[in-house]
A and B are shown apart, each in its own frame.
Chain A
Amino acid sequence: MVHPIIRLVVQRIALGLLLLLAVSILIFGGTQLLPGDVAQAILGQSATQQALANLREQMGLNDPALVRYWNWLWGILHGDLGTALTNGHDIATDLGKRFANTLFLAFWAAAISVPLAIILGLVAARYAGRWPDKLISGITLATISLPEFVVGYIAMYLLAVKFRLLPSVSMIFDGMTLGAKLHAIMLPVLVLVLVVLAHMMRMTRAAILNVMQSAYVETAELKGISPGRVIWRHALPNAIAPVVNVVMLNLAYLVVGVVVVEVVFVYPGMGQYLVDHVAKRDLPVVQACGMVFAAVYIGLNILADVISILANPRLRHPK
């Protein structure tokens, strides 16, 4: 008999792959089947008949939609994302480099924000209703109300222009040392940390407070254990599943934040790549970026579910 944890995990991953397939239909349908002529949309109203016909031929627009979808999906499954319309480059090569840059940025943002959010969440839960809690809550309310690019420009104005502490644009290229790269991305990392910190911290606080209401925590308190120790030894281990879930969901949220922050700081990552090519109406690039973003987002959500399945002790012993 298969262990129930393995069965649940396999089920969850299969469901995620199915969802990704549905998303591919959505992205392809959203760009190809919408009313209006795609070739016309790309070339504009002034295009000649000949140019339109050529582009339709080049993009295979004369084939039925199902055939085009199948060719596109088949290509993706073999690592062939097609070529960009605007410069004729192989999309997979360009995208790969930029994806690595985006991961570099997101990795450092996550490495700083996750521990910080959990520590602040614990502090807020420990002093719930008192001034440290209120201070942290007030700051998070303010950052939730700001769009990413506003946080970005305020940080840039203060730190890069007024006080000249950090560079205002974050160009990185091959051959830079790790130290130089880190110095270049400090400002965007700071902004991403501020953007996700608030959500993550609030949800950590809520998860801890929820566990704090259970009977075993009350018992521990009545035994006379110090509040810090109650949280550390009794509340935290039981809050790990919801906290991990929160962390994963916020890492997925970084996917969106990264698009805007990269544009603000002119960082050569995937978000900037996507936005540039949406403006140029370069469909193959937009579709490829959309699929990669969707895959990362869905992947992180699957990971969150799998970890919370693994962290649930009730599922560990088959009945």
Chain B
Amino acid sequence: MIRIPPSALLGLVMTGAFFFVAIFADFIAPYPLAAVVGGVWDPSSSEHWLGTDSIGRDLMSRMIYGGQTTIKIATLATIVSFGLGSVLGFTAATVGGWVDQALSRFVDLLMSIPSLILALVVLSVMSVNELTLILVMGLLDATRVFRLSRAVAVDITVMDYVEAARLRGEGTGWIIFREILPNALSPLVAELGLRFIFAVLFISTLSFLGLGVQPPGADWGGIVKENSAGLVYGIPAALAPAVAIAVLAISVNLVADWVLNRTTSLKGGRGA
């Protein structure tokens, strides 16, 4: 039986709640995404728990749908970055030689400038929609997964059981998926949470800058942008999605910290 520390349990419950609301947004949200139902920036009331937004839409409903968009894009981008990064990282470590050199130098190049700047440059010519956002974010983030999985796999490829598999005549695919992947899983799982948070922050930042999810779609970063003008008049509507981003990030962080501690202590052979 695994004992879960209270902080990690809180993180798990909160993260689960965010995903639950995101998945069932259509049933939970009290009003449709784009319906104008009140005045501009109405204060919180019994019909509109968080008040209304810059053009009179229910803020609570927009937060729920916005969370759905943010979490969906971040999750898919994380899947892309993990799929691409880990397979290429394992391949580089297993095959070695010029394949490893070419992939590693290309990743060095991509990581030599901040990913936000590179994303802005690329998005200036591509049509901005959810698919391009997911692919651009996934590709840029795959560089970090590549470095981690290559580093982990390099240690594993020198193990006797990999050598044995090679001598048996197993192919590269078998070695990557049947020998390396199961042994590299725990550090990768810990990284998964961190990359997911990074994707949430990244898509929020892009949308906040007006280069992510485009209206009429909504995500948390975009809702901050729409309502930011109200802050100067003392209307805190823009802070609601800002707080949601922060709470989600902290919740996932708490879980990731716990997984990280567990896996590193397992590596040290002390158990957990």
Binding site for B on A (CB under 8 A): 19, 22-23, 26-27, 30-32, 34, 36, 38, 41, 141-142, 144-150, 153-154, 156-157, 160-162, 168, 252-253, 255-256, 259-260, 263-264, 274-275, 277-279, 281-283, 286-287, 290, 293-294, 297-298, 301
| CB pairs A–B below 8 angstroms (27 shown) | A23-B113, A27-B121, A30-B118, A31-B121, A41-B127, A144-B253, A145-B250, A147-B204, A147-B221, A153-B224, A153-B231, A157-B231, A168-B231, A256-B116, A259-B116, A259-B209, A260-B208, A264-B228, A275-B211, A278-B121, A278-B209, A278-B211, A286-B120, A290-B120, A294-B117, A297-B112, A297-B113
**A41-B126, A297-B112 given; A286·B242 CB < 8 A:** no
A31 to chain B, nearest CB (A): 5
Majority secondary structure, A binding face: helix
Judge whether B239 is part of the interface by a CB distance below 8 angstroms.
yes
| Chain B residues engaging chain A, CB cutoff 8 angstroms | 108-110, 112-114, 116-118, 120-127, 197, 201, 204-205, 208-211, 221, 224, 228, 231-234, 236, 238-239, 242-243, 245-246, 249-250, 253
B205 — which chain A residues lie within 8 A by C-beta?
A: 147-149, 260
Cβ contacts under 8 Å, A263 to chain B: 208-209
- Known A-B contacts A145-B250, A263-B209; A286 and B114 likewise in contact (beta carbons under 8 Å): no
Q: How far in angstroms is the closest Cβ of chain B from A171?
A: 13
A149 and B224: CB pair below 8 A? yes
What's the Cα separation between A263 and B210 when bound, in Å?
10
- Residue among A26, A253, A260 having the largest count of chain B Cβ atoms under 10 Å: A26
Let me know if A157 and B209 touch, CB within 8 A: no
> Bound complex: CA of A265 vs CA of B221, how far in Å?
16
Are the C-beta atoms of B245 and A293 separated by less than 8 Å?
A: no
CB distance from B40 to the nearest CB of A (A): 18
Set of chain B residues within 8 Å of A294, measured between Cβ atoms: 112-113, 117
For the complex, what is the distance from the CA of A34 to the CA of B238, rounded to whole Å?
36
- Pair A256/B239 contact, Cβ less than 8 Å: no
Q: With A36-B125, A147-B204 as given contacts, are A153 and B113 in contact (CB-CB < 8 Å)?
A: no
Q: How far is the CA of A30 from the CA of B109 in the complex (A)?
A: 13
Q: How far is the CA of A142 from the CA of B117 in the complex (A)?
A: 25
- With a CB–CB cut-off of 8 A, which chain A residues contact B117? 255-256, 259, 274, 290, 293-294, 297
Contacting residues, chain A, for B233 (C-beta < 8 A): 161
Contact of B126 among A36, A156, A252 (CB under 8 A): A36
Given A147-B204, A293-B114, A297-B113, are A154 and B242 neighbors across the interface (CB < 8 Å)? Answer: yes
On chain A, the residues within 8 Å of B112 by CB distance are: 19, 22-23, 294, 297-298, 301
Q: Please judge, given known A-B contacts A157-B239, A281-B125, whether A274 and B120 are in contact too, CB under 8 Å.
A: yes
- Roughly how many angstroms separate A264 CA and B232 CA in the complex, as a whole number? 12
CB B247 to nearest CB in A, in angstroms, measures 9
Partner among A31, A142, A264, A275 whose Cβ is within 8 Å of the Cβ of B122: A31
Bound-state Cα–Cα, A279 to B122, Å: 12
Nearest-neighbour CB distance to chain A for B72, whole angstroms, equals: 18
- Looking at the assembled complex, report how far the CB atom of B142 sits from the nearest CB atom of chain A, in whole angstroms: 15
| Contacting residues, chain A, for B121 (C-beta < 8 A) | 27, 30-31, 278, 286-287, 290
